[in-house]
Structure 1
């Protein structure tokens, strides 16, 4: 299955290091999902390089972080969610993560709130 990892990225994060910690948590969960034999997907990982490129192309200043972020992060993440079979919701409150969950739920996808509930068989050497 393609399983989206949905969790807070900017929600509750006041600094870049807190956002980075949130992303590390999603990436760690993605690795565990991969070990279970699935394809993990993270909307933030898809959107961040596009946001960076948009700033470069448009010559946006670094203080315009929210403009490009707001215009691209959720549309890209939600488009990706629409192609996933399931979602693993991790972490604390996040409007964006909850929107990803709802897109997948509306399509009849599975929603997991614990890694232990994700089906699969660990690959050899995991």
Structure 2
């Protein structure tokens, strides 16, 4: 399965770059275990952040950021088989779960819910 890891990015950070980096790191800690289960992990941030920079974003929440950040994750979900929802409160991560639910994708809330590839 192609599994989108969805968790807080800005939530609870007051846009502090160090706290945002900690949020991304938390999501990334699930990538290798998902890979080792035989699946392909991904974070929307891996795709969005380089494009946000190329679009000329100067700060989180500006027009280029908003044009790309959540929409790219929604587009990725068109290709994904599942979502792993991690971390604390996050409107964006909850949006990804809702989009996944509407697309009848698998939704997991813990790593041990993800079946290994046989």
Length-normalised TM-score, structure 2: 0.91
SS in 1 for 2:11: coil
Q: How many residues align?
A: 116
Structure 1 gaps, min length 5: none
Structure 1 residue 93 displacement after superposition = 0.7
Matches within 5 A, 1:1-126: 1-14=1-14, 15-55=16-56, 62=58, 64-67=59-62, 68-120=64-116
SS in 2 for 1:87: strand
Structure 1 residue 82 displacement after superposition = 2.2
Residue pair 2:39, 2:117 contacting (<8 A) in 1 also: no
Larger helix share, 1 or 2: 1
What root-mean-square deviation, in Å, do the aligned CA atoms of Structure 1 and Structure 2 show? 1.5
Residue pair 2:8, 2:87 contacting (<8 A) in 1 also: yes
- Give distance in 2, aligned partners of 1:100 and 1:19: 18
Residue pair 1:4, 1:41 contacting (<8 A) in 2 also: yes
Structure number with greater Rg is 1
Structure 1 segments, 4+ long, off by >4 Å, are: none
- Give distance in 2, aligned partners of 1:83 and 1:103: 12
